[in-house]
Copies of this chain bind each other. A is one copy, B any other.
Amino acid sequence: MQFERLKQCGRARRGRLQLQHGTVETPVFMPVGTYGTVKAMTPAELLGLGAEIVLGNTYHLMLRPGTDVIDAHGGLHGFMAWPGSILTDSGGFQVWSLAQMRKLNEDGVAFRSALDGSRQYLSPEKSIQVQQALNSDIVMCLDECTDYPVSKAAAATSMQRSMRWAARCRAAHADSRNALFGINQGSVFPDLRIESMQALVEIGFDGYAIGGVSVGEGWPDKALVLETVLAHAPEQAPRYLMGVGTPADLVAAVGFGIDMFDCVLPTRNARNGYLFTSEGVIKIKNARHRHDLAPLDPACACHVCQTYTRAYLHHLHRCGEILGARLNTWHNLHYYLQLMRRLRTALETDAFAAFQRQFFSSPEGSDTPQASYFFAR
């Protein structure tokens, strides 16, 4: 993996990742492809939207279809017919949020699959092994997901175990050609976050992720974590904010120096008819859209906005039609990927500060905690 920093505007960075499956322009948003598919989308459609990298979920894929099946396809790219890059998570987050009868010790975590009750085991070495079978371009370390809220003592214990696991992941990854990212933990405690980042840097990774955010803390705590952690992250490595977030989150976090994001929001919300537009969020199921002949977003160039009316999208949503989920997903992903293009262009043209100001003054971002935070500084 190579990471090139093309431009810097304050702390915000315009960069370029070279991975085994191609180039990724940063800041980047990675659509989430839980079970080997970005829900409702084909790979060709994702490429058409400009996606260069998607995320796969190790926990889900190791249970269904199982590592053996994906390995037989030469990895996840072949299985899902996706020619671009793939980042996989470690499986840890889902073990904590979904698995049953979880038993944790220093070696790893035993659990039962919520699908069929089968006994499963994940350790730092096992997670790396599975992600190598998936042939993921960016492999994530297995970490312990710290509860929130949590006492400082418990946060420290949990973070320190994650750092020992990070060292084992680094050893297990050995001389793989794929990249390995460490994950920063420490809840909302600045000194723990700093201790964690120093430990990760000492081990040495291709990139540094910030985990344990968007777990219930508010924006001010998130901003504090970003401000604290990124001051101690190596400038020359990419930084990835895991599981974040709203459009306002992305615009704000790029300002702190984040390069990579993933989140289920654009895809999951799409299926619920919650659509991101230049005029703010539109809930397409609202009766007011029943007779609306306007496009979803008059300012949007995507296929959906160029082709269909709000009335048609409203109808598809009411009828529970698959095409509704498809078109809503298509538009929301276009919105997110276009937002990242707008951010990259602003960075390239030294207009990032103006872009943030404009975004947080517009219907897209004005009614958010991030906007209040931005204008209070």
Residues of A within 8 A of B (CB): 35-37, 39-42, 64-65, 68-69, 72-73, 79-81, 290-291, 293, 307-309, 311-312, 314-316, 318-319, 321-323, 325-326
Contacts and interface: CB of A to CB of B under 8 A. Distances in A.
B311 A72 contact: yes
Nearest to A311: B69
List 7 tightest A-B contacts by C-beta distance, closest first.
A40-B322, A65-B315, A37-B323, A35-B319, A81-B307, A37-B321, A69-B311
A326 B318 CA distance: 19
28 contacts: A35-B316, A35-B319, A37-B321, A37-B323, A39-B322, A39-B323, A41-B323, A42-B323, A64-B318, A64-B319, A65-B290, A65-B315, A68-B291, A69-B290, A69-B291, A69-B315, A72-B293, A72-B311, A73-B309, A73-B311, A73-B312, A79-B309, A79-B311, A79-B312, A79-B315, A81-B308, A322-B322, A326-B326
B73 A293 contact: yes
Given A65-B290, A290-B65, A40 B323 contact: yes
Given A37-B321, A312-B36, A312-B79, A326 B42 contact: yes
Contact of A81 (B41, B42, B312, B314): B312
Given A40-B322, A69-B291, 19 more contacts: A35-B315, A36-B312, A37-B323, A39-B321, A39-B323, A42-B323, A64-B315, A64-B318, A65-B314, A69-B311, A69-B315, A72-B291, A72-B293, A72-B311, A73-B309, A73-B312, A79-B311, A81-B308, A322-B325
